[in-house]
Amino acid sequence: MEPTATPATSNISVRRGEPLVIVDKVNKHYGELHVLNDINTVVNRGEVVVVIGPSGSGKSTLCRAINRLETIDSGSITIDGKVLPEEGAELAKLRADVGMVFQSFNLFAHKTVLENVTIGPIKVKKLSRKDAEKKAMELLERVGVANQAQKMPAQLSGGQQQRVAIARSLAMNPKLILMDEPTSALDPEMINEVLDVMVGLAKDGMTMIVVTHEMGFARKAADRVLFMADGQIVEEATPIEFFDNPQSERAQDFLSKIL
Ligand code: ADP
Ligand code: MG
């Protein structure tokens, strides 16, 4: 058995309750397709928001917009009091505040696990190798893969790789972590080891926006569920309200298919 993540003694500074991410009247089109249709939401510090909805509803586009991997046509996205600019050095700085974990783990294949976690802090945050490695080992410990530090990503299971990807994003001390279907590419027996790490982060007060259809995670960790369909936020509710008593026909229909 692989050791599961140790509950972290984390150093995330928590000031719960203030708005950290403000998405204000955001619109985006791909040609004729209105992929984000007047999206408004606020994510407070320490909040965990689960985004759920049918395929093609705009969930990934919303994540990518919040990280400015996609431009938007109108509206604004504010992170920690700063409106995301279109481009430039200021954007790079703001983007470094946002960790991103993708469905496909996106580790650097030709670097060891440890190097994957130290490269950002060394290159971007200008940490010394020694300090970066010390911190990386703590984070790898926290996600339960410290014993894999010298291996190459391909030598690890999918669940281990995704936990490394989470450690790598934490290494940058992000203010927010965006996760886009972080367990969708995993074999079923590896899903829980990643979800456990995510629940641990949530408990430690990390602000998280997580696209997932894992109801167990949503019920355990989410403060709020956003249900998206056709580029719109159709419902916004607590997990209990949403799963036990969805209001819209779209949500009822969607839940009947996945539950
Ligand atoms: P979800 O993550 O909810 O499945 P996406 O945000 O990936 O949805 O996609 C929303 C819609 O936008 C889909 O219809 C998809 O085909 C379309 N789309 C996504 N990216 C692009 C792109 N780069 N160019 C054109 N259409 C896109
Ligand atoms: Mg998607």
DSSP 109-128: TTS-HHHHHHHHHHHTS---
Q: What is the pLDDT of residue 95?
A: 84
Which ligand is closest to the CA of 55, given by its number?
1
Evaluate whether ipTM surpasses 0.85.
yes
Whether ligand 1 lies within 6 angstroms of the CB of 13 is answered as: no
What pTM was computed for the model? Answer: 0.91
The protein residues having their C-beta less than 5 angstroms from ligand 2 (an ion) are: 59-60
User: What pLDDT, in 10s, does the model give residues 111-137?
Assistant: 999 999 999 999 999 999 999 999 999
**Is residue 2 over pLDDT 80?**
no
User: What pLDDT, in 10s, does the model give residues 178-215?
Assistant: 999 999 999 999 999 999 999 999 999 999 999 999 99
**Is residue 155 over pLDDT 80?**
yes
Whether ligand 1 lies within 6 angstroms of the CB of 32 is answered as: no
Distance between Cα 56 and ligand 1 center (Å)? 6
Whether ligand 1 lies within 6 angstroms of the CB of 67 is answered as: no
Q: If pLDDT is split at 50, 70 and 90, which confidence band does 7 have?
A: very low
DSSP state of 144: T
User: What pLDDT, in 10s, does the model give residues 11-51?
Assistant: 334 445 799 999 999 999 999 999 999 999 999 999 999 99
Mean pLDDT of 154-158: 97
Residues 44, 20 contacting (CB under 8 angstroms): yes
Name which residue sits closest to atom 15 of ligand 1, judged by CA: 56
Residues 17, 45 contacting (CB under 8 angstroms): yes
Whether ligand 1 lies within 6 angstroms of the CB of 59 is answered as: yes
Question: Which helix (H) or strand (E) covers residue 184, if one does?
Answer: none
Burial 107-132, CB ≥16 within 10 A → b, else e: beeeebbbbbbbbbbbeeeebeeeeb
Q: What is the pLDDT of residue 16?
A: 57
Q: What is the pLDDT of residue 11?
A: 35
Whether ligand 1 lies within 6 angstroms of the CB of 35 is answered as: yes
Residues 136, 113 contacting (CB under 8 angstroms): no
Which ligand is closest to the CA of 180, given by its number?
2
User: What pLDDT, in 10s, does the model give residues 66-90?
Assistant: 998 999 999 999 999 999 888 788 8
- Measured from the Cα of 70, ligand 1's closest atom is 23
